Amino acid sequence: QKEVEQNSGPLSVPEGAIASLNCTYSDRVSQSFFWYRQYSGKSPELIMSIYSNGDKEDGRFTAQLNKASQYVSLLIRDSQPSDSATYLCAVIPDTGRRALTFGSGTRLQVQP
C-alpha cells in the first residue's frame, strides 16, 4: 500500500457547491497532513495543514482528519471556477525522512 493515495478525478462540481476531496493514508505515516493546490503549469501552493483529529477551517476551506478511518479530506465551500486545479495531499513518512511524500493529486473542475 502506498503511503498516501488520492483519486485522480476529475471531480466536477457546479459553481457554488461544496467540493469534497479525499486522501487515504497508510500506517507508515506520521499524523500531520498538508493540502496543496496546483494550477495547471504552475508550482504547488500550500493551502492548509492539519495535525490533530477533527476539523480545521480557514475561510472557504475545511480540512478534516479521521485517524480511525485513516483519511483526510479537504472541503471547499461555495466553489468558484478559480478553484479549478489539482489538489495534492502530502504526508510525513514514518521513516525518519524529513521531507513530504505527495499523493498524485485530484483534479477539480468547477463548472460555471
Partner 1 sequence: DGGITQSPKYLFRKEGQNVTLSCEQNLNHDAMYWYRQDPGQGLRLIYYSQIVNDFQKGDIAEGYSVSREKKESFPLTVTSAQKNPTAFYLCASSVDPSSYEQYFGPGTRLTVT
Question: Which residue lies nearer to partner 1 by CB, 45 or 55?
Answer: 45
Can you point out the beta strands (E) in the chain? 4-5, 11-14, 19-25, 29-38, 45-50, 54-58, 61-66, 71-76, 85-93, 101-102, 106-111
Question: Which residue lies nearer to partner 1 by CB, 75 or 100?
Answer: 100
Place of cell 485517524: 67
**25 sits near partner 1 (criterion: CB under 8 A):** no
Q: Beta strands 101-102 and 85-93: pairing type?
A: antiparallel
**32 sits near partner 1 (criterion: CB under 8 A):** yes
Residue type, 24: T
**69 sits near partner 1 (criterion: CB under 8 A):** no
**43 sits near partner 1 (criterion: CB under 8 A):** yes
What phi and psi values does residue 111 have, to the nearest 5 degrees? -90, 125
With CB under 8 A as the rule, give the number of residues binding partner 1.
21
**100 sits near partner 1 (criterion: CB under 8 A):** yes
Q: Which residues bind partner 1 (CB under 8 A)?
A: 8, 32, 34, 42-46, 49, 88, 90, 92, 97-105
